[in-house]
Amino acid sequence: MHKTVQNLINIQNLIKSKQSVLKNNEIIPKIIAVSKTFKINHILPLIEYGHTDYGENKVQEAVEKWSQIKSNNSKIKLHLIGKLQTNKVKISLKLFDFIHSLDNEKLARKISEEQKKQNLEIKLFIQVNIGNESQKNGIHVNKLGEFYNYCKELNLNVVGIMCIPPIDEDTEISFSRMNYLKKKMNFKELSMGMSADYLDAIKYNSTFLRIGSDIFGSRD
pLDDT at residue number 220 = 62
Q: How many helices (H) and strands (E) does the chain have?
A: 9, 9
Q: Rounded CA gap, 129 and 42, in Å?
A: 32
Half-sphere exposure of 119 (CA within 13 A, CB side): 0
pLDDT at residue number 25 = 66
Segment 162-218, tens digit of pLDDT: 999 998 889 999 999 999 999 999 999 999 999 999 999 999 999 999 999 999 988
pLDDT at residue number 13 = 95
Who contacts 32 (Cβ-Cβ below 8 Å, separation ≥6)? 53, 54, 55, 79, 81, 208, 209, 210, 211
Residue 22: pLDDT band (50, 70, 90) is confident
Segment 43-95, tens digit of pLDDT: 999 999 999 999 999 999 999 999 999 999 999 999 999 999 999 999 999 99
Mean residue pLDDT of the chain comes to: 94
pLDDT at residue number 134 = 77
pLDDT at residue number 21 = 81
Decide if pLDDT at 24 tops 90: no
Q: Which helix (H) or strand (E) holds 140?
A: strand 139-140
Residue ranges of domains in the chain, CATH in brackets: 3-17+35-216 (3.20.20.10)
Write phi, then psi, for 2 (nearest 5 degrees): -65, 150
Considering only 24-28, 52-56, 135-139, which range has the smallest mean pLDDT?
Answer: 24-28
Segment 154-176, tens digit of pLDDT: 999 999 999 999 988 899 999 99
Amino acid at position 47, single letter: I
For residues 98 and 121, the answer to whether their CB atoms sit within 8 Å is: no
Among candidate residues 22, 83, 61, 4, the one with its CA nearest the CA of residue 206: 22
